[in-house]
């Protein structure tokens, strides 16, 4: 899975990128990609139970995209993110070291500029497609259907609404997937606060930003990239105290990863072997056989059954041995819909 981090220059994108990936951001104006692990405290618990040393977290590829300035570099910015699965828009609320390219601290306006740019990009993509299809209408029997879907898109964009807002049936959804519309991509907004704003829960344009995101049904996450960077250097206990003092349950990175998962309809299952505990990412609603394919296509092809224990059951038992003795493992067939936190052993033959 690929996620693009976008926003104005100096919003804190690279700082966030570094937090998410532990990767040094590139200087200059080049997009950069690195892998971030998805924090999941359940993995640590499983590792203790199983006494394994090797741990593999689920991962996400993050793109640190060069800053966007309205009316200046939309082309390169859009190209970089045309194939990501989701967008994280970082808007700046912290007030220190204001740079000349900022006309004041205005996170709502900054979000809106990007939103408008994405809408314009989709509008022009839509026009091109509609013209092309209108020409094919005589020859291509499917063109009329497609034109119908595009007209729905047009009506949505005309109301200044992102295409995400458009409810489509499965067929239409499929037809649209090939287009790479920008405003169809899931989007999450991160507002980057300083410590004082975090404590007081107030910052410029807060109300406008919250209202707009509520209207668009988009999640908003409050983060302080700088504090997070400091917390990142503390050990577990100190970090916890620091977070509590700020009234936060968890690091911004963990909250961001969770929101990404929720918003994209993703979940994790685990495999727990003698040498390795590992998290795997699948879409909610995935059947056991397809989930097996995440691990290896041979396991999917030769699928016999899945031996499943729920995470909570396994933890309550304290070990896989006890869970087995107590009959907590279930045998499930290929149609079984995998649940979040399932610990699975796949049986297969090749
Ligand atoms: N005070 C404060 N400064 C920050 C915060 N996040 C980033 N910065 C600083 O703002 C500047 C720009 O951050 P950077 O991540 O490079 O922004 P980018 O241009 O969006 O990639 C750097 O000097 C960061 O150290 C924050 O939460 N609070
Ligand atoms: Mg940067």
Domains annotated for the chain, with CATH where assigned, are 285-348 (3.10.20.30)
Model confidence pLDDT, tens digit, residues 149-163 = 999 999 999 999 999
Note whether 218 and 187 are within 8 A (CB). Answer: yes
Distance CA 10, CA 67 (A): 8
Distance CA 330, CA 79 (A): 47
Residue 63: enclosing H or E segment and its boundaries? strand 59-64
**CB neighbours (10 Å) of residue 285?**
10
Whether 91 has a pLDDT exceeding 90, the answer reads yes
Q: Is 96 in the pocket of ligand 1 (CB under 6 A)?
A: yes
Q: How far is CA 317 from CA 120, 234, 308, 314, 326, in A?
A: 55, 33, 14, 5, 8
Mean pLDDT lowest for which of 6-15, 75-84, 109-118, 165-174?
75-84
Note whether 114 and 77 are within 8 A (CB). Answer: no
Average pLDDT, the chain: 90
pLDDT band (50, 70, 90) for residue 323: very high
pLDDT band (50, 70, 90) for residue 145: confident
Q: What is the pTM of this model?
A: 0.88
Query: How far apart are the CA of 31 and the centre of ligand 2, in A?
Result: 9
Note whether 270 and 311 are within 8 A (CB). Answer: yes
Whether 103 has a pLDDT exceeding 80, the answer reads no
Q: Is 18 in the pocket of ligand 1 (CB under 6 A)?
A: no
Query: How far apart are the CA of 15 and the centre of ligand 1, in A?
Result: 6
Radius of gyration of the chain (CA): 23
Model confidence pLDDT, tens digit, residues 229-276 = 888 888 878 888 888 888 887 888 888 888 888 888 899 999 998 889
Distance CA 129, CA 123 (A): 10
pLDDT score of 350: 84
111 φ/ψ angles, rounded to the nearest 5 degrees: -60, -45
């Amino acid at each position: 899975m690929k996620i693009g981090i976008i926003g104005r220059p100096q919003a804190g994108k690279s700082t966030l990128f570094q937090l998410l990936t532990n990767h040094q951001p590139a200087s200059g104006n080049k997009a950069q990609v690195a892998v971030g692990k998805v924090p999941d405290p359940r993995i640590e618990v499983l590792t203790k139970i199983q006494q394994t040393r090797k741990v593999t977290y689920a991962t996400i590829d993050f793109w640190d995209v060069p800053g966007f300035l309205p009316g200046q570099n939309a082309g390169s910015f859009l190209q970089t993110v045309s194939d990501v699965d989701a967008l994280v828009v970082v808007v700046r609320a912290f007030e220190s070291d204001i740079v000349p390219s900022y006309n004041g601290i205005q996170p709502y306006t900054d979000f809106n500029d990007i939103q408008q740019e994405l809408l314009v990009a989709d509008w022009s993509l839509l026009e091109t497609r509609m013209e092309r299809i209108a020409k094919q209408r005589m020859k291509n029997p499917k063109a009329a259907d497609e034109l119908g879907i595009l007209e729905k898109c047009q009506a949505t964009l005309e109301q200044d609404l992102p295409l995400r807002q458009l409810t489509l049936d499965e067929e239409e959804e499929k037809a649209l997937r090939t287009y790479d519309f920008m405003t169809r991509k899931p989007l999450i907004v991160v507002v980057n606060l300083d410590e004082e704003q975090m404590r007081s829960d107030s910052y410029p344009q807060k109300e406008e930003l919250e209202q707009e995101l509520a209207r668009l049904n988009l999640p908003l996450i409050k983060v302080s990239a700088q504090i997070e960077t400091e917390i990142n250097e503390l050990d577990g206990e100190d970090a916890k105290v620091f977070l509590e003092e700020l009234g936060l349950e968890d690091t911004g990175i963990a909250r961001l990863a969770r929101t990404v998962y929720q918003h994209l309809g993703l979940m994790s299952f685990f495999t727990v072997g003698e040498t390795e505990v590992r998290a795997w990412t699948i879409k909610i609603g995935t059947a056991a056989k397809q989930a097996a394919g995440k691990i290896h296509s041979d396991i999917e092809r030769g699928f016999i059954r899945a031996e499943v224990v729920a995470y909570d059951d396994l933890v309550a038992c304290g070990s896989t041995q006890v869970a087995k003795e107590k009959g907590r493992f279930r045998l499930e067939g290929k149609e079984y819909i995998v649940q979040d936190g399932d610990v699975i052993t796949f049986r297969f033959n090749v």
